[in-house]
Structure formats: C-alpha cells, structure tokens
Amino acid sequence: MSVPRRPYVLLVALFLLVIGCSAGAVQTTDPSAPRGAAGPEASPEPPRPVESLRPPAEIPDLGPRTRAQIPATARQALVVTGQGPDSNRSSAVLYSLDDPALGWRPGAGPWPAHNGMEGWTDHHLADDLRSPVGVFGLTDAGGRLPDPGALLPYDAQHRFAVSGEGFLGEPLEGSFDYVVAINYNRTPGTSPLDRTRPLGAERGGGIWVHVDHGGPTQGCVSLTEDRMRELLLTLDPAKSPVIVMGDAASLAL
C-alpha cells in the first residue's frame, strides 16, 4: 500500500529552507570587531573639500617684510599700490580676513587713486610731497559733510573746508568732504584735525585718505567721492583696519 508523499515533501522543503538561510548567509563584518563597527567593505569617508586643503590666502604682491608689519589683530586692509617710486598714481584694493582658515580675500576694488606729487618715501619729511611707505592704522574719520553712517568715529566740522587749486590747476574744493586719518605721526583716537606730531613736526603729518580732486596730493591718498563713502561704510573698528601703502617695489620687500 503506497504512502502519500505530499506531507513528506513539504516537511523536507521546510527543513532545507531553514538550513539554507543560515548556512548560506555571507559574513560582511569581522566577528571580533565591536558591535556596530564597519567592516572592510564599508564606504570610505567622503573626501575633504579642496578649500580646506589649501593654505590660507595671503594678500598678493606683498613681501615678507611688509606682511610682518600687518598686526595680527587686523581683519581689514586697504592696500594702496603706487605705479612707481616717483609716480603719483596708484590703485587701492580693500581686503578682508573674515575666516583665518581661508585667509585674506579682496572685498572691493581695484579703485584708481592718487598719492603724493613726487611719489613715495620710507622717510617722509614735511613738505617733501611724497607719501609715506608702510602699514598704518585707520582709527578715525571726519569731514565737512555729515556722517554718512561711518563705523569709525566721525568728526563732522566746517574746518575741513578747503579751497584753492591743486598741482594741475584743478579746484581743491570738496577734497575734505570725507576723510579717514592715516595713523602716520599722529595720535590715534583723535580727530583727523588734531595736530599732535609724536615724531616731531619735521616728519610731517596730516596724512589722510580723502576725496580725489583729479590730481596728485601733497602726501595723502585720494579716492573718488563714491569710493570714500563706500570705505567709510565698510571700515570697522572691531576689525582693526590698516592701510598698506607704497610703491609696488617697496611693498614687495
């Protein structure tokens, strides 16, 4: 008498299914590794961004001596580069250091500028008609016009009025509508009009960034009026701004 095969077949299939699932499993992790640790076939870490692998950017075209003069606290730098040691034409770029890991980045410029009639000098004297080379703080502002919203302390006075003609016969009126004092031979934290000269009167003073009148200056740096307004709205005392100024060859040292 034959025995029905169907229950037997079902029993064998069920047994193979259970055994096959456990025996055929592929181990993908090291059994000795801590629970949750990735095995040898785990996905690698994503590559680091290229930016993070680069050294912090430096202000271009400045040599080691010039860079060493920039205070470690400075986070803004107006770089004024003269065309030559005896040239009265230059250009200005405003740099910012917002992220030390990325370094200095240009924020505005280049802007055309004028400097002293006779060019540049590393030993400025009164009435030599040259602009001093170096790195100087920018802490105080002012002008004949009302404060446009400057972040630096701003001294608005009619005493900033000026008249007469420049070296090319251009009118000087309006040149001091906006000014930023350059901390060469002056006391920081005072009005640009302050006449204190710590190095002595023979070393000159009253060196400013002011509104351009279309010609060379007696030693100051000049920018167009709209750029002066932009500068006043950007320079932040909390970022210890400085001006780096000189002819290209001197700044490259």
Is-catalytic flag, 158?
A: no
pLDDT tens digits for range 87-117: 999 999 999 999 999 999 999 989 999 999 9
Report pLDDT for 54.
Answer: 80
pLDDT tens digits for range 109-133: 899 999 999 999 999 999 999 999 9
Cβ-based neighbours of 64, under 8 Å, separated by 6 or more: 253
Residue 37 inside a domain? The answer is no
Pair type for strands 120-121 and 208-211? unpaired
Is the pTM above the cut of 0.85?
A: no
C-beta separation of 155 from 180 below 8 A: no
Residue 59 inside a domain? The answer is yes
Residue 194 inside a domain? The answer is yes
CATH number at residue 183: 2.40.440.10
Residue 10 inside a domain? The answer is no
| Residue 109 belongs to domain spanning | 51-251
CA distance 44 to 137: 49
Counting the structural domains of the chain, the total is 1
Confidence of residue 13 (pLDDT cuts 50, 70, 90): very low
Residue 27 inside a domain? The answer is no
**Active-site option among 114, 124, 210, 213:** 210
CA distance 186 to 164: 25
Is-catalytic flag, 220?
A: yes
Residue 41 inside a domain? The answer is no
**Active-site option among 114, 124, 213, 220:** 220
The three-state (H, E, C) secondary structure of 90-116, written as one string? EEEEEEECCCCCCECEEEEEEEEEECE
Candidates 146, 214, 136; CA nearest to 181 is 136
Residue 44 inside a domain? The answer is no
Residue 239 inside a domain? The answer is yes
